[in-house]
Amino acid sequence: MMAQYRRYEQYKDSGVEWIGTMPEGWGIRRLKLGVNLRNQKVIDDNDLTYLGLENVESMTGKIIEDESLGEDHIVEGTSNKFYKGDVLFGKLRPYLAKCTVAQFDGKCTTELLVIRSKSREIYNRYLFYLMISSPFIDLVNSSTYGSKMPRANWEFIGNQFIPCVGIEEQIQIANFLDQKTAEIDSLIADKEKLIALLEEQRQAIITEAVTKGLNPDVKMKDSGVEWIGEIPEHWHIRKVKYLSDILRGKFSHRPRNDPSLYDGEYPFIQTGDVASAGKFLVEYSQTLNEQGFAVSKMFPKGTLVMTIAANIGDLSILNFEACFPDSIVGFVPKRQIDLNYLYYNLTAMKKEFLRTSTVNTQMNLNVERIGGLLTCCPPYDEQVAIAEYLDERVLEIDKLQEEISLQIDRIQEYRQSIIFEAVTGKIDVRDMVVEVTVIA
């Protein structure tokens, strides 16, 4: 994909594995010789805007604004002071590539390294792109310590060799990448919007089928339930608890991450497994041993599971026996209730689950609230027909979403590739950049 760009006339081996070849005339130097690491600490200074790792978008450096970002957000303890133009690099889980160029003076988590160029030797946006390039991130990530909270340290990062090229050319490279990544990000955003529209269409098709049926000529009546509206005249409205036994997940031990409970023979799923699964949950990555199983319980294959904490209303059908915690509930359909229809019925109820959930530190539901909600109950043969119809329609949409997701993956790979190619001189962008920016 790089053939469209001009190359320098001559290249040489940089002698640095992550850089590879680079143009004749370029050199290398250790990062710490061109920058300073700020170690200015502030304690409980709430006049400064705070930036946390959660406020930095992976790979792009864009700032994510939420309630934690702003002067009114109180942060206890020590923070790092930063100034406009500083490069902030996340040392915690560096594989996330959390890096940005500060657009204001403020304070940040101590998990962000604050880096400033020495005597204008390194252009901040060039350094930003260099530090989010995949080979550099992989290099830093290889040095981390700590299995649960892997961190890199400045001693390792600062000692790494980076390309050494004139400041004017750094500015040209950064300006080119600003323009190119903006174009790529716009394309990705359009495709993500298309996925969201398909998801809305998916939900609308499911809701229409489970509440109105498949016969457009059937006589209708008012259900008396706002989210359902009219239903076929011969259908009934029932509480969820009359359609299914609702089983509470169990895992009573605290803390839940106690390693002495895991790595046995009993499959153990959590909310993330359900959220990432499709209609059927076919694999697991975590297991309980005998000690862990003693504080949990096994649920049968074919149980419809739903998340009721944090991410509310994600659903999947177990393709194996499994244990799960109380952040998940299981549904076993009663007589004359089709499992596949129940899956789609509860999928249509997601907004109702969200509306009904209580909010504390995070949203959550309970068995009583779920069981008391009203939903549709068509005759069994219609349930089966609706589920078969939706299997076909949903599969079409899922395939389209998967295809677009693969396109996004390829575009993101191209984005990372072009960043690396530009910052290491694999392509010559000097004549492509007209505007020259002044270093902040």
Are residue 362 and residue 425 in the same domain, yes or no? no
Q: What confidence tier does 414 reach under pLDDT thresholds 50, 70, 90?
A: very high
Residues 323-328, mean pLDDT to the nearest whole number: 93
Are residue 140 and residue 35 in the same domain, yes or no? yes
Domain presence at residue 373: yes
Give per-residue pLDDT as tens, 93-117: 999 999 999 999 999 999 999 999 9
- CA 349 – CA 220 distance, rounded (Å): 20
Are residue 253 and residue 167 in the same domain, yes or no? no
Range of lowest pLDDT (153-162, 163-172, 271-280, 424-433): 424-433
Residues 57-79, mean pLDDT to the nearest whole number: 75
Q: What confidence tier does 147 reach under pLDDT thresholds 50, 70, 90?
A: confident
Sign of the four-CA dihedral 35, 40, 46, 48:
negative
What pLDDT score does 87 carry? 98
Does 37 have pLDDT greater than 50?
yes
Q: What confidence tier does 439 reach under pLDDT thresholds 50, 70, 90?
A: very low
What pLDDT score does 1 carry? 44
Are residue 273 and residue 156 in the same domain, yes or no? no
Q: Which residue has the tokens 């880096």?
A: 115
Backbone φ and ψ of 195, nearest 5°: -60, -40
Residues 353-381, mean pLDDT to the nearest whole number: 82
Q: What confidence tier does 46 reach under pLDDT thresholds 50, 70, 90?
A: confident
pTM of the full structure? 0.82
What pLDDT score does 66 carry? 65
Domain presence at residue 214: no
What pLDDT score does 73 carry? 54
Residues 280-286, mean pLDDT to the nearest whole number: 94
Q: Per the structure block, which two tokens stand in for 433?
A: 């950049």
What pLDDT score does 355 carry? 86
What pLDDT score does 358 carry? 62
What pLDDT score does 23 carry? 97
Are residue 350 and residue 272 in the same domain, yes or no? yes
Are residue 164 and residue 287 in the same domain, yes or no? no
Q: Write down the H helix ranges in 52-166.
A: 124-132, 134-141, 154-158
Domain presence at residue 283: yes
Domain presence at residue 250: yes
Domain presence at residue 211: no
Does 360 have pLDDT greater than 60?
no
Are residue 155 and residue 243 in the same domain, yes or no? no
Are residue 145 and residue 287 in the same domain, yes or no? no
The whole domain housing 323 covers 236-377
Q: Cis omega before residue 267 (within 30°)?
A: no
Residue 104, domain CATH: 3.90.220.20
Does 234 have pLDDT greater than 60?
yes
Residues 265-283, mean pLDDT to the nearest whole number: 94
What pLDDT score does 436 carry? 43
The string of DSSP codes covering 397-420 is HHHHHHHHHHHHHHHHHHHHHHHH
Q: What confidence tier does 309 reach under pLDDT thresholds 50, 70, 90?
A: confident
Q: What's the first-to-final CA gap in the chain, in angstroms?
A: 32
Q: What confidence tier does 256 reach under pLDDT thresholds 50, 70, 90?
A: confident
Q: Percentage of the chain surpassing pLDDT 70?
A: 93
Domain presence at residue 6: no
- CA 153 – CA 140 distance, rounded (Å): 9
Does 161 have pLDDT greater than 90?
yes
Instruction: Determine contact, residues 202/400, Cβ cutoff 8 Å.
Output: no
Q: Percentage of the chain surpassing pLDDT 90?
A: 81
Range of lowest pLDDT (1-15, 225-239, 267-281, 330-344): 1-15
Average pLDDT, the chain: 91
CB contact set of 255 (below 8 Å; sequence gap of 6+): none
What are the distances in angstroms from CA 237 to CA 204, 224, 439?
20, 9, 66
Does 437 have pLDDT greater than 60?
no
Residues 324-329, mean pLDDT to the nearest whole number: 93
Give per-residue pLDDT as tens, 182-226: 999 999 999 999 999 999 999 999 999 999 999 999 999 999 999
Are residue 332 and residue 426 in the same domain, yes or no? no
Give per-residue pLDDT as tens, 374-407: 999 999 999 999 999 999 999 999 999 999 999 9
- From 338, 358, 377, give the residue that closes a domain: 377
Residues 344-363, mean pLDDT to the nearest whole number: 80
Does 255 have pLDDT greater than 70?
yes
Are residue 78 and residue 128 in the same domain, yes or no? yes
What pLDDT score does 96 carry? 96
What pLDDT score does 119 carry? 79
What pLDDT score does 69 carry? 57
Closest by CA to 246, choosing from 168, 131, 337, 122, is 337
Could you give the number of structural domains in the chain?
A: 2
Domain presence at residue 399: no
Does 334 have pLDDT greater than 60?
yes
Are residue 22 and residue 151 in the same domain, yes or no? yes
Q: What confidence tier does 67 reach under pLDDT thresholds 50, 70, 90?
A: low
Q: Give the three-state DSSP class for 58.
A: coil
Residues 113-137, mean pLDDT to the nearest whole number: 95
Domain presence at residue 390: no
Instruction: Determine contact, residues 270/298, Cβ cutoff 8 Å.
Output: no
Are residue 247 and residue 358 in the same domain, yes or no? yes
